Copies of this chain bind each other. A is one copy, B any other.
Amino acid sequence: MARKRFDDSNCAVARTLNEVGDWWSLLIVLQAMYGTRRYVDFQKELGIARNILSDRLDRLVENEVLRKVDVGEHGSRFEYRLTDKGRDLFPIVIAMRQWSEKWNPCPEPGLDLRDRATGRPLRQLCVQDADGKPLTIREVQIADRNTENSPEV
């Protein structure tokens, strides 16, 4: 692939893609959010090749999205747990879920996310102003911090 990297990109979205933008990383994070913690379980749940899994786990640990915890009494038993940074990917994952459920609905039910306290489903994620008022993309001003511009979309 000789894939282009965006490590030093000025674009925040590109920098996010650089850390979790490949096919597997975000699915691993998702799986971790579902409660998976161990190497073999990730492997079984995702059906990912083992070397790829190793590579992705290492990179996620390196980027501090996961942390590798030694849970063996005498070593050699590990868990991969979400860090705060990793847990903060939750809105991204939820936004993706909701987008897919809206635009590419799947006949089979799949997973269900609810408020643990009340048992009610989640609200549709949306961009809001400081007061919580929903904003469409047209209501958001996109401006270069240096120059002035704000396109119509």
Cβ of A50 within 8 Å of any chain B Cβ, yes or no, is no
In the bound complex, residues from chain B placing their C-beta under 8 Å from that of A136 are 87, 90
Counting every copy of the chain, the complex holds 2
Task: Using CB atoms, name the residue of chain B closest to A123.
Answer: B128
Q: Is the CB of A13 within 8 A of B96?
A: yes
Q: Is the CB of B153 within 8 A of A109?
A: no
Task: Using CB atoms, name the residue of chain B closest to A9.
Answer: B106
Q: Is the CB of A94 within 8 A of B10?
A: no
Closest approach, in angstroms, between the C-beta of A105 and any C-beta of chain B? 9
Q: Is the CB of B10 within 8 A of A108?
A: yes
In the bound complex, residues from chain B placing their C-beta under 8 Å from that of A116 are 138-141, 150
Cβ of A73 within 8 Å of any chain B Cβ, yes or no, is no
Count of A residues near B, CB < 8 Å? 85
Q: Is the CB of B14 within 8 A of A27?
A: yes
Q: Is the CB of B16 within 8 A of A145?
A: no
Q: Which of B104, B111, B127, B146 contacts A19 (CB 8 A)?
A: B104
Q: Is the CB of A99 within 8 A of B92?
A: yes
List the 4 closest pairs (A to B, CB-CB), nearest first.
A35-B151, A109-B145, A12-B100, A16-B96
